[in-house]
Amino acid sequence: MANKVWKFHNDVDTDQIIASQYLLLPDIEAMKIYTFESLDPDFAKKVTPGDIVVASENFGCGSSREQAPSVLKALGIQAVIAKSFARIFYRNSINIGLPVIVCKDLYDHVEDGGTAELDLSAGTVTVDGRSFTCTKLPEYMQGILNAGGLIASLNKEED
């Protein structure tokens, strides 16, 4: 199934994903309505579960706030597909079970508001019949993602 694409630029930082003044709210549910507020105050209202975030280089740079991938996941974002990610955001996303996918070619071939179809198991993303290959995750990280995140994986280990 093809899903709507929300396209962002280079160096989208974690303050833009979720600003500092919302981080001490009680939980992610209370924070998620402020996602991308400085870029598009209505983003959280417009987004629908299954949508895909597409970005250029260095997505998620800045702070270690796990609230950044968590609000995206809570809004139902299926995956973030970027040319590259900042490392803490990348690691946090895998830890909470949000697919983060490196794909060098997608960005230049999809429009903001367009659609893309992601096949996680095949590692491809398709736009208008054209398929792009995604970089494979190292096996260890894929294992965490498959388990549903680091805590789910830990609970399983300790059972």
Partner 1 sequence: MGMTIGEKIIARAAGVDVVKPNDIHTVTLDRMMSNDGTTHLTVDMYNNKLKHPKIADNKKVVFIMDHNVPAENPKTAEAHKKMRNFAREHDIALYEGQGICHQIMMEDYVCPGELIFGADSHTTTYGALGAFGTGVGCTDFLYAMTTGTSWVMVPETLRFNLHGKLPEGVYARDLILTIIGDIGANGANYKIMEFAGDGAHNLTIDERIVLCNLTVEAGAKAGIVEPDEKVVEFCQAHGRKAVHMFKSDEDASFARVYEYDLSKIKPVVVRPDFVDNFDTLEVVKKEKIKIDESFVGSCNNGRIEDLRIAADVVKGRQVHPNVRFLIAPASQAVYIQALEEGIITTLMKAGAMVMNTNCSVCWGSCQGVIGKDEVLISTGTRNFKGRAGDPSSKVYMANAATCAASAVKGYICGPEDL
Give the residue with the Cβ less far from partner 1, 26 or 49: 26
Give the residue with the Cβ less far from partner 1, 21 or 48: 21
CB crowding 85-109: b at 16 or more within 10 Å, else e: bbebbbbbbbbbbbbbbbbeebbee
**Closest approach of partner 1 to the CB of residue 142, in Å:** 12
**Of the candidates 15, 21, 14, 17, which has an alpha carbon nearest to the alpha carbon of residue 6?**
17
Give the residue with the Cβ less far from partner 1, 51 or 66: 66
Q: What is the chain's length?
A: 159
Give CA separation, 15 vs 11, 104, 123, in Å.
Answer: 11, 24, 29
CA distance 81 to 107: 8
> What residues make contact with partner 1 under the rule CB under 8 A?
11, 13, 15-16, 19-21, 23-28, 37-38, 57-58, 61-67, 69, 84, 86-88, 91-92, 95-96, 138, 140, 149-151, 154-155, 158-159
**Closest approach of partner 1 to the CB of residue 39, in Å:** 8
**Closest approach of partner 1 to the CB of residue 78, in Å:** 20
**Closest approach of partner 1 to the CB of residue 40, in Å:** 11
